[in-house]
């Protein structure tokens, strides 16, 4: 009897190889083989097609150590099958239960992590450019349903990808549109031996309960539930990838990176579609955190709502994992490792030339004593980071200090004003106000706030003899 199911399986893989341009002549493919019908079918498909396409195959098997006797038998069986096909065999035995205790991971998560580590090591050993995995349509349906139950987004609904790059190696799943029943039928038609993993029947694993209980129950309402869920993944996957591409383009357009912080303007963010707003926040958090999966929809939406709807022009939001989101007027900034407010400082300045470092900043303050006659009229065209004082009307020592509650300054022609209100008018970000230096005289009167305003104290006049020149030198960083 002609093995019709097997022949259809071969034709399906041929079609994918040609359409997707997988596995060039000379490619080395690592086949992940557990010993079950799906992976045994994969091994035989790759072996039978290898002369046709000119690739080589390595059989890779991992013993996770969960079922000592059964797992050892599976390893011997897979090695024998590879030997019968003259396919090189690689294996490794690990202690997954011990790894679970060390890392706190669940059984399936720990096993998956160890398995992929092993497969990548084998790929590196053989200079292989591809790893073939035997996931099938039923696996895809289980994955999508499991993620829906846990509360996933579009990325999760996209399920298992048929092809992706990981650590510069292709991960390829040629059976993702094939029912497991057809893989079993193919093995039986061709008399391929395989083994059944007894742990697949244990309901202590969430995936098993979904396969054994949830999907059969829901199939009462949709007999085509498995292909329906698989089709949902095929639709959602590329659409999610497209939205991600648009998000990355928006990121390049809007976001500025500087010294570990990521910032953008409120106006530009509000103008983006809500789907891109959420994705942009998620993308930034992925850059800032190695455990970004902890930032679920509720957290991301809280941040988005705060940015879009808060009427406050200054606020900060503790996101978690030592990350905060700060609004300073028109700017939104995400930062990692925020260490709180700068320490207060007060540095005495004597009547002498000097260059002083400003605490909490890479900036410096230059001080020079000059004869006033050395300055012509152009000397009065100063930037906001420069100031001139009559040195003989200035009471030394002067002090360079951080702001204090209740600080006021006497402005030219404007009377007295609170420094706090001056900062607000000048739109000085809240995070910068405590590190901004104030220059005061011996009596505590504020003479100058570099970059902001000068007071009416110690003004130069026609009879001035000695000039005090001060300049804030900004860091190039």
Binding site feature residues for ATP = 34-39
Spell out the residues 6+ positions from residue 130 whose beta carbon is closer than 8 angstroms to its own: 22, 23, 27, 28, 29, 30, 123, 169, 170, 171, 172
Cα separation of 382 and 321, whole Å? Answer: 45
Q: Which two tokens stand for residue 140?
A: 């895809």
H/E stretch holding 201 reads none
Q: How far is CA 123 from CA 47, 86, 87, 403, in A?
A: 17, 19, 15, 61
Cα separation of 444 and 350, whole Å? Answer: 15
Instruction: Extract the annotated binding site.
Output: 34-39
CA R_g for the chain? 34
Q: Which residue has the tokens 């305003």?
A: 453
Cβ atoms of 359 and 434 closer than 8 Å: no
Cα separation of 398 and 349, whole Å? Answer: 5
- For Cα atoms 361, 363, 368, give the angle at the middle one, nearest 5 degrees: 140
Q: Which two tokens stand for residue 429?
A: 């970000």
Cα separation of 292 and 283, whole Å? Answer: 9
Burial category of 305 from C-beta neighbours within 10 Å (exposed 0-12, middle 13-18, buried 19 and up): exposed
Q: Which two tokens stand for residue 128?
A: 């292989």
Cβ atoms of 450 and 472 closer than 8 Å: yes
CA end-to-end span of the chain, whole Å? 76
H/E stretch holding 466 reads strand 466-473
Strand-pair partners of 317: 325
Cα separation of 465 and 393, whole Å? Answer: 10
| Full DSSP string of 85-119 | TT--EEEEE--HHHHHHHH---HHHHHHHHHHHHH
Cα separation of 399 and 87, whole Å? Answer: 80
Spell out the residues 6+ positions from residue 127 whose beta carbon is closer than 8 angstroms to its own: 28
């Amino acid at each position: 009897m002609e093995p019709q199911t097997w022949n259809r399986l071969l034709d399906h893989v041929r079609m994918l190889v040609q359409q997707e341009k997988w596995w060039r002549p000379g490619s080395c493919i690592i086949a992940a083989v557990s010993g079950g019908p799906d992976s045994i079918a994969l091994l035989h498909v790759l072996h039978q097609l290898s002369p046709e396409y000119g690739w080589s195959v390595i059989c890779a098997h991992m013993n996770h150590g969960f079922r000592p006797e059964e797992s050892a038998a599976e390893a011997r069986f897979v090695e024998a099958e590879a030997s019968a096909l003259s396919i090189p065999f690689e294996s490794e035995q690990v202690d997954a239960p011990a790894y679970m205790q060390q890392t706190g991971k669940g059984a399936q998560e720990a096993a998956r992590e160890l398995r992929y580590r092993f497969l990548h090591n084998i790929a590196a050993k053989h200079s292989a450019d591809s790893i073939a995995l035997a996931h099938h349509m039923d696996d895809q349906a289980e994955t999508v349903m499991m993620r829906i139950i846990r509360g996933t987004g579009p990325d999760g609904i996209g399920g298992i990808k048929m092809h992706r790059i990981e650590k510069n190696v292709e991960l390829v799943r040629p059976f993702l549109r094939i029912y497991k029943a057809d893989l079993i039928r193919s093995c039986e038609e061709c008399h391929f031996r395989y083994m059944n993993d007894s742990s697949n029947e244990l309901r202590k694993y969430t995936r098993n309960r979904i396969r054994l209980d949830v999907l059969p129950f829901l199939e009462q309402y949709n007999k085509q539930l498995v292909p329906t869920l698989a089709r949902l993944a095929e639709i959602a996957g590329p659409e999610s990838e497209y939205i991600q591409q648009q998000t990355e383009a928006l990121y390049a357009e809007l976001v500025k990176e500087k010294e570990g912080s990521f910032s953008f303007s409120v106006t530009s963010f509000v103008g983006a579609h809500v789907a891109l707003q959420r994705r942009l926040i998620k993308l930034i958090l992925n850059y800032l955190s190695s455990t970004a999966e902890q930032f679920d929809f509720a957290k991301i939406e809280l941040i988005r709502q705060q940015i879009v709807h808060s009427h406050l022009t200054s606020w900060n939001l503790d996101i978690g994992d030592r990350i905060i989101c700060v609004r300073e007027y028109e700017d939104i900034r995400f930062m990692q490792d925020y260490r709180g407010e700068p320490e207060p400082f007060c540095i005495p300045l004597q009547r002498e030339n000097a260059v002083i470092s400003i605490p909490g900043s890479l900036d410096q303050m230059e001080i020079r004593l000059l004869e006033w006659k050395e300055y012509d009229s152009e000397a009065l065209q100063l930037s906001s980071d420069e100031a001139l004082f009559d040195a003989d009307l200035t009471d030394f020592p002067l002090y360079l200090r951080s702001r204090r509650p209740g600080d006021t300054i006497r402005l030219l022609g404007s009377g007295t004003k609170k420094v706090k209100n001056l900062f607000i008018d000048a739109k000085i970000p809240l995070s910068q106000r405590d590190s901004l230096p104030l220059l005061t005289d011996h009596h505590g009167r504020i003479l100058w706030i570099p970059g902001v305003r000068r007071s009416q104290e110690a003004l130069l006049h026609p009879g001035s003899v000695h000039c005090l020149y001060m300049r804030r030198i900004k860091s190039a960083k």
